[in-house]
Amino acid sequence: MQQSDQVQYDLPSNSSELMLQISQCHNLMLLDKAYEIVQFYMTRHNQDKDNFPINKDLFHEIQTFHKEATFLKQQLSDNKDWIHDCNTQYFQMSYKFIPNSTNVALKFESVMKLPIINACALIYQTELFNNWVPFCKVSKGLKTPGLGHKICYIMMDLPVLSNREAYIRGYGVDKLEQSKSFLICCQTIHHDKEYQALHQINTTQVNCVQVEINFFAVEVTLINAGEFVMKSVANLDPKMKFIPQTVMNFLMKKIGKFMYERFCKLAQNIKGTQWEKAIQEQPQFYEHVRKRFEQYLSKY
């Protein structure tokens, strides 16, 4: 954002109050607003990041998450070199070859006619991934540092091959005011020692091969209360160098299509399921999300 375009904020002069305001925005998934307040304060007071009067960990996290979210929005919009493989009226899946790499890149876009809160529950309840994600044998929610910020562990039980595992951080970004959408950003944290130390997460391998999720993003754009556009992009290394990339792309497309169909079927009706129970047990998150969606839809 250019300085001349910056939103003007009435900021508290007390540093503890300032930190509380920024922290609240960040916790409520208003990452863009938290970032803008930080940038506005630094510009107004001619301060650098080393002298910013808020918790350094919070400052670093806002800067990091904002950079990642901006990058992921670009990846979701990128159409260069993608090969369209599966096209229907409501669903499109694409893949991309990455030269001299074992990484797999997939993208999908779909118009979904589903209850939005049901869809949120399937994504947010990481501990229930083993009920619908293919080959997922173990799924655990490890920590919830913020309302929309979670750290989870998953272990995949693959036929013939060694088990795969991943420690993943994911966070939501409320971009309803900016781009009429809600963004979910994910990646593995195996090499981020600073993040591991901050949140006291041990990612030591235990008889598994660790998959690297370089990035994974889901963007939900509301149409109405029961219809939305979902876009997703993923870039990961499944650590299967011995499998040709053409074969790996084929397998991942099949898995991706199965996940999509399973997701749609489960999200259609969650009455009496573990997801309905989770919504009832975690009203703070789901009521907040529900109200935000209602506020947005009431304007259009």
Q: Note down the domain range covering 33.
A: 3-54
> Same structural domain for residues 23 and 85?
no
> Same structural domain for residues 153 and 249?
yes
Residue 60 in any domain: the answer is no
Across 82-107, average pLDDT: 82
Identify the pLDDT of residue 85: 78
> Same structural domain for residues 171 and 33?
no
> Same structural domain for residues 114 and 195?
yes
* pLDDT tens figures, 86-98: 767 678 888 888 8
pLDDT band per the 50, 70, 90 thresholds, residue 283: very high
> Same structural domain for residues 203 and 162?
yes
> Same structural domain for residues 43 and 109?
no
Query: What's 203's domain CATH number?
Result: 3.30.530.20
> Same structural domain for residues 131 and 235?
yes
Identify the pLDDT of residue 147: 94
Give percent helix, percent strand, percent coil of the chain, each to the nearest 5: 45, 30, 30
> Same structural domain for residues 166 and 263?
yes
> Same structural domain for residues 109 and 253?
yes
User: Please, which residues have CB within 8 angstroms of residue 138's CB and are 6 or more apart in sequence?
Assistant: 130, 153, 154, 155
The residue type found at 169 is R
User: Within 10 Å of residue 35's Cβ, how many Cβ atoms?
Assistant: 21
* pLDDT tens figures, 112-150: 999 999 999 999 999 999 999 999 999 999 999 999 999
List C-alpha distances in Å: 29 to 84, 170, 242.
Answer: 33, 12, 40
On whether the CB atoms of residues 159 and 179 are closer than 8 A, the answer is no
* pLDDT tens figures, 241-265: 877 777 777 777 788 888 889 999 9
- How many structural domains compose the chain? 2
> Same structural domain for residues 191 and 265?
yes
pLDDT band per the 50, 70, 90 thresholds, residue 1: very low
pLDDT value at 154 more than 70: yes
